[in-house]
Amino acid sequence: MTVEIICVGTELLLGNIVNTNAAFLAEKCAALGLSSYFQVVVGDNRERLVQTIRTAMERADIVLLSGGLGPTGDDLTKEAAAEAFGRRLVEDETSRRQIEAYFAQRGITPTENNWKQALIPEGAKAIPNRNGTAPGIIMEENGKYAILLPGPPGELKPMFTDSVVPYLRTLEDEVIESVTVKVVDIGESRAETMVSDLMENQSNPTIAPYAKTGEVHFRITARAAGSKEAQELIAPVAEELKNRFGSHIYTMEEDVTLEKAVADLLAEKKWTIATAESCTGGLLAARLVNVPGVSEVFHAGFITYADEAKQNLIGVKEETLKQYGAVSSKTAEEMAVGAAKAAGADAAVSITGIAGPDGGTKDKPVGLVYIGCYVDGKVRVEEYHFTGSRLKIRESVVAAALVLLRNSIIAQ
Amino acid sequence: MTVEIICVGTELLLGNIVNTNAAFLAEKCAALGLSSYFQVVVGDNRERLVQTIRTAMERADIVLLSGGLGPTGDDLTKEAAAEAFGRRLVEDETSRRQIEAYFAQRGITPTENNWKQALIPEGAKAIPNRNGTAPGIIMEENGKYAILLPGPPGELKPMFTDSVVPYLRTLEDEVIESVTVKVVDIGESRAETMVSDLMENQSNPTIAPYAKTGEVHFRITARAAGSKEAQELIAPVAEELKNRFGSHIYTMEEDVTLEKAVADLLAEKKWTIATAESCTGGLLAARLVNVPGVSEVFHAGFITYADEAKQNLIGVKEETLKQYGAVSSKTAEEMAVGAAKAAGADAAVSITGIAGPDGGTKDKPVGLVYIGCYVDGKVRVEEYHFTGSRLKIRESVVAAALVLLRNSIIAQ
């Protein structure tokens, strides 16, 4: 089956916000095995909305709409969908009661506008919204489906994952399952070349590459009559990727991030980690703190942005800074050892470099970074050359630091 | 004039990447005073691309296309645009020479594919690409314009800003200018209500609100015969916003972020700042480090994720942690004072809270955060209640911390 994604909202046309809903929905649909050929963004205009929905229904089986389910005069998605399907709007009792409860719980009196949200196209099914007042809506006509979702990502994502994905699975006779193999420390081009024969020849399962900062993900997707059969198709492909990528694979679980994988490795070893950052300014520690429960392995971090801070907080020697400079292998080494000591941690990662746009010289250009890793009493420092904007360089450095840390732990 | 944005690439349809190009282009076009009613995403399929371009040309004056200008077989945008305009592809000599130079500079031998990038539709104008090999392309026919841009944001953004924006300005007789008024410490709804009369009645200039994390921006856009006249239209409106928002406005310059404004305030006072973060894990320091040159005011930061780190690194008293807990006003106060002392800084900001999803209790729920600010020998602590995901809460906290710091500095 094919799906078309329509995101409604003038704020998207004005570039006020980035369309994260489209990417979220598109990725979920791809994982469900649905093909998609178009995405459209349209404003809060009834006529254009109706036209856009009709065009989508001509060329796709499923139309997903996000946005425009609010209580204001600009919220027109339900009205437009009802018109495109030739139906009236009627009040859905469950939705009405849910809206009453939502406002009662917050001690707010709803306005007349808010009751608008309890209206749904006749014959449609309302999907409960646990994070807002607008119910989602599913409509079906002659094998065509329209699914209306609230615009705010905090409402759309849980509703889609909890209610719509199970519903979409029922539309297909087949089951679609995926496993994502996450690879680090191999460049995107080379990683794809290493499995290009598999990607070209596979039709079920398929293998799709996804480039991330410092990582490449390969999603293996299989369709079969049932879950067991789908997993049986996936398993040998996953095994072959394991053979080819070996320890470059840090997880095959969808929800495990690189920082989570690293935190888990540290927890296994019962090691605590400290961080000492200069140009990344806290982004490495912040990535570790993305992991709920990281407090088991991460207690303290330092941002030693100035030379004095490197000396005073984590014991980098004045002579080292004088002789080699803040951005040097020796400084990175002393930062790592010093941070572990100052924090009373078993291990530490240090970062010192030039993120740009200014600060580069002929000898030490923008993008030059040293990352140090102190693990199990041994220090290792690597030199890197990154390109891009100040922020892009910093993000690339953080990814490289997590990879170096992982490599250092598994090498023990 | 109206513009339609078409982003080309199967990776967008699969949700592999978020469509940041569309938001960037849309915001730039809005600032240029162009109206936009549709954005479309289409895959690397020639037939659908031609159809999409033709539809866009029927309903808009300017069609912006991003993506599909690379050297591979999947790159079809030029071919599709040429077909939609009824033209052949011919080699552009300047582009050919630029591609030769690009590869020579890197010591790489180009493949046959790479020469494809020197082809442009007959009669079109090539836009030089300083960050890649694919030239941009401008085509015109009977008052309709198609502008083709490379997909990678690092190539598209500079090309659009440097070459396309000036070109688009020449298409309109009028000049469009904008000033963005950035407001903090007033909620989005209230801020919009405070100027709703101005927004409703204005047609030239117009006032458009943009909600950001912890900020609201109001863009004042005027059209006139020349730049001087446009600025004369904007000035009284900007003045009125100043009257209404007062010191809640932190800047009226497009490129000045809140962190830059705060860094500038500190530099004016010749004060240095230290940070002490718990649940935000480094995100506050990282935002300060976004500012090139912040080393003048920011030297050191601490991530005191564990109670011991709060004690050992920045001197929070054991009795305080025992009696009030890590997430308390007293702890935030001692963190701020202690961080300034440990870093030898004039001022400090501290953050302690519960970012979730776990860790909340009845008395101290997820989202409870205390932010402390030590400025000019005085400490101030504020209590906050945030909602959302772990990451969203942490981002909101960082914005609030910058606002509190700003307020504390300007109150001196």
Per-residue model confidence as pLDDT tens digits over B187-214:
888 999 999 999 998 889 999 888 889 9
CB < 8 Å to B280, chain A: 286, 289
Whether B130 contacts chain A with CB within 8 A = no
Residue whose C-alpha is closest to residue A342's, from B331, B278, B342, B280: B342
pLDDT in tens, B287-329: 999 998 999 999 999 999 999 999 999 999 999 999 999 999 9
In a mutagenesis test of the B interface, which of A303, A350, A386 is the best target, namely the one with the most B β-carbons within 10 Å? A303
Question: pLDDT tens, position by position, for chain A (412 residues)?
Answer: 999 999 999 989 999 889 999 999 999 998 888 999 999 999 999 999 999 999 999 999 999 999 999 888 888 999 999 999 999 999 999 989 988 888 888 888 888 778 888 899 999 999 999 888 899 999 999 999 999 999 999 899 999 999 999 999 888 888 888 899 999 999 888 999 999 999 998 889 999 888 889 999 999 989 899 889 999 999 999 999 999 999 999 999 988 999 999 999 999 999 999 999 999 999 999 999 999 899 999 999 999 999 999 999 999 999 999 999 999 999 999 999 999 999 999 999 999 999 999 999 999 999 999 999 999 899 999 999 998 889 889 999 999 999 999 999 998 7
Residue whose C-alpha is closest to residue B179's, from B161, B197, B156, B206: B206
Our CA-based measurement puts residue A278 at a distance from the nearest CA of chain B, in whole angstroms, of 9
Residues 41-100 of chain B with CB under 8 A from chain A are: 41-43, 45, 48, 52
* Neighbour order of strands in the sheet with B368-375: A378-385, A368-375, A347-353, A273-277, A298-304, B298-304, B273-277, B347-353, B368-375, B378-385
A280 and B289 in contact by Cβ < 8 A?
yes
B302 and A304 in contact by Cβ < 8 A?
no
Alpha carbons within 13 angstroms on the beta-carbon side of residue B329 total 6
Strands B298-304 and B273-277: parallel
Our CA-based measurement puts residue B83 at a distance from the nearest CA of chain A, in whole angstroms, of 20
Statement: residue B412 has pLDDT above 80: no
A39 and B12 in contact by Cβ < 8 A?
yes
B313 and A300 in contact by Cβ < 8 A?
yes
According to DSSP, the residues that pair with A89 across neighbouring strands are: A121
In a mutagenesis test of the A interface, which of B47, B299, B358, B389 is the best target, namely the one with the most A β-carbons within 10 Å? B299
Nearest to B304 among A30, A300, A357 (CB): A300
Measured between CA atoms, the residue of chain B closest to residue A26 is B15
Our CA-based measurement puts residue B125 at a distance from the nearest CA of chain A, in whole angstroms, of 27
Strands A62-66 and A2-8: parallel
A308 and B302 in contact by Cβ < 8 A?
no
Residues 337-366 of chain B with CB under 8 A from chain A are: 342-344, 355-359
Nearest to A285 among B22, B45, B303 (CB): B303
pLDDT at A174: 84
Measured between CA atoms, the residue of chain A closest to residue B41 is A39
Our CA-based measurement puts residue A117 at a distance from the nearest CA of chain B, in whole angstroms, of 20
DSSP, res A295: G
Burial of B340 from C-beta contacts in 10 A (0-12 / 13-18 / 19+): buried
Nearest to A37 among B19, B43, B279 (CB): B43
Whether A116 contacts chain B with CB within 8 A = no
Residues 188-227 of chain A with CB under 8 A from chain B are: 208, 210-211
C-alpha torsion angle, residues B57, B60, B66, B71 (rounded to 10) = 10
Residue whose C-alpha is closest to residue B90's, from B130, B137, B131: B137
Residue whose C-alpha is closest to residue A140's, from A123, A126, A156: A123
B39 and A41 in contact by Cβ < 8 A?
yes
Alpha helix (H) residue ranges in B160-226: 165-171, 188-194, 196-201
Nearest to A14 among B30, B285, B304 (CB): B30
